[in-house]
A and B are shown apart, each in its own frame.
Chain A
Amino acid sequence: MVHPDEVRHVARLARLALTPAEAEEAAGQLGRILEYVELLREVEDDDAAAPGPGSSSAASAPPAAVAPPAAPLRPDEPGEVLTREEALAPAPRTDGETFLVPPVLDGGDRS
């Protein structure tokens, strides 16, 4: 149901590498899971269209969040922040001021 090419595309989006064998296996597993998820098609679209008690806003609303629709905002004042030291302490590669990464331009990723 899911072609290994689709799996490879999704893997690229997720920044994961798959060997050809893994792509085949993932396609099979994902396929079975997605077949199961096809169950959701049984739910009629107009079943969900009418807003019920407690649901927020109009028919074209995005999926409802669990938290109340209008979460209160806090005052726009700076609070406690991580110090630079705390932030850099776990860094795998750092120059003491920034996080270091391989070059992005000129010889970096073009794919």
Chain B
Amino acid sequence: MRPALRPVPDLSRALANGELSAAALLDDCLDRIGTLDGVLNAMIHVDEKGARRAALAADRRFANGAPRGPLDGIPVILKDNIAAAGLPLTCGSRILGDYVPPRDAAVTARLRAAGAVILGKANLDEFGMGSSNEHSAFGAARNPHDPSHVPGGSSGGSCVAVAAGYAPLAFGTDTGGSVRLPASWCGVVGFKPTYGRVSRSGLVAFASSLDQIGPVARTVEGAALAFAAVRGHDPSDATSLPDPPGEKDAARNRGRKPVRGMRVGVIRGFLGAGVDAAVITRAEKAIAALARAGATVHDVELPHARYAIAAYYVIASAEASSNLARFDGVRYGRRAEDPASLEDLYVRTRTEGFGAEVRRRILLGTFALSAGYAPEYYGRASRVRDLIRRDFDDAFAGADVLVSPVAPTPAFPLGERVSDPLSMYLTDAMTIPASLAGLPAASVPMGAVGGLPVGLQILGPAGRDGRVLRVGAALEAELGPAAPPALTGASS
């Protein structure tokens, strides 16, 4: 198998024992990007020079017998809402102009300290708002399993990149499902940590009470290694949490049967009406695989989950309307030409700079927070959020993890939903509840429907990220590795 398609743990071993050099691995990744990205459009910026420097430094460390750890020499791609010093930061928008951040995000700094080779920035729905990567000022990204279909979003570019072998590892952000959904639709592993376990410092905020940075990899072990490299308290993020005591990561549980005796709760409401029958079949097969591995399975209910989408779109849009107020043409980014007044500067900069979906959500969020409406919309949505959190507490009283499909269908064709915002929002029905409750959640490949990958969602109680990853690893072991995309017709 060519280096660019090998999983992270495999590459770490190969780099450590001298079988492969970081420079050669990087070359293979750059070759993949050059061959495929003309069609897949997953990359906004590729930093070949910086990456080569980092790979060279890694090779020197390997030659001296002093590698930094499992991510040393590993190429990593970052969603383009995560800051990397010296690289353009666009958030998939026109409004940031040619902004270049002076500092790394906390996650970026930790990755560099681990020796990772930062390869470039991935395409995304603008400011993280979208489920298909069609709302980008840089054009839609395409699904490597079928380029006439969407890859999912908003972290579409990151998941395409890993699936297509641009890098063995990427990072995305997940606010309502934006790592889990594209991961499931691209046939790779995506993980959203417990809210607070990965620093948001240097991540351009969309919805501050929901955003989380998470890894995308070909295997659960790769995602676990990536999570271990970036997690932990960061004093520059006031919502950052220390690692809970006794948390073990999946990497340390190879060879055991970690799900024996584990109670798996199936969110039965997510395997019924509105979900593709073929998706349900794949989910039931995956659940049966967990049972074969020794888990006990029972059904659970989340009585208030039916209100989750509505609550989420109010809360996320409200927070976004506040967070995006900073884009006004004054301190950074694009600025309207010849403004007649300060008001004109603000209005034209923002109207010209933001895409349609972002403007729509800013309007919705502003409406939900405006005088007279705030208690009705934002207040009520927040109370519903508490009820959903309580539903999960009740479910976890009798279960160690919960499972469901990630999405009601596999990836849809490009253009199918982009003009109907509400139908796009319904894609997130199954991922949103865990976001509202701040719970750790993974998407693990569970096969394909009509040639398009689908994933199983695994959720855990807050702080039990290691447990979620262990169950994911067990599922992966039972089902076997996901097939990489054939990429017929995707080569330019």
Interface flags, B404-426, vs A, CB<8A=1, else 0 = 00000000000000000110010
Contact between A53 and B390, CB atoms less than 8 A apart: yes
B contact residues around A40 at 8 Å (CB): 307, 310-311, 314, 377, 380-381, 384
B contact residues around A87 at 8 Å (CB): 331
B253 within 8 A of A: no
B258 within 8 A of A: no
Closest to B436 in A: A66
Instruction: Name the segment of B17-25, B28-36, B358-366 touching the other chain.
Output: B358-366
Contact between A14 and B332, CB atoms less than 8 A apart: no
* Interface residue SS majority, chain A: loop
A33 within 8 A of B: yes
Are A55 and B386 CB-contacts (below 8 A) given A33-B313, A91-B331?
A: yes
Instruction: Name the segment of B71-79, B125-133, B344-352 touching the other chain.
Output: B344-352
Contact between B347 and A15, CB atoms less than 8 A apart: yes
> How many Å lie between the Cα of A103 and that of B241 in the bound state?
44
Closest to A53 in B: B393
> How many Å lie between the Cα of A28 and that of B385 in the bound state?
27
A contact residues around B345 at 8 Å (CB): 101-102
B174 within 8 A of A: no
Interface residues of A in 63-111 (CB under 8 A from B): 63-68, 71, 74, 82, 86-87, 89-93, 99, 101-104, 107-109, 111
A contact residues around B68 at 8 Å (CB): none
B341 within 8 A of A: yes
B contact residues around A58 at 8 Å (CB): none
B148 within 8 A of A: no
Instruction: Name the segment of B51-59, B96-104, B291-299, B478-486 touching the other chain.
Output: B96-104
Are A39 and B307 CB-contacts (below 8 A) given A52-B393, A92-B332, A102-B340?
A: yes
A contact residues around B370 at 8 Å (CB): 9-10, 13
A contact residues around B328 at 8 Å (CB): 15
> How many Å lie between the Cα of A1 and that of B471 in the bound state?
46
B304 within 8 A of A: yes
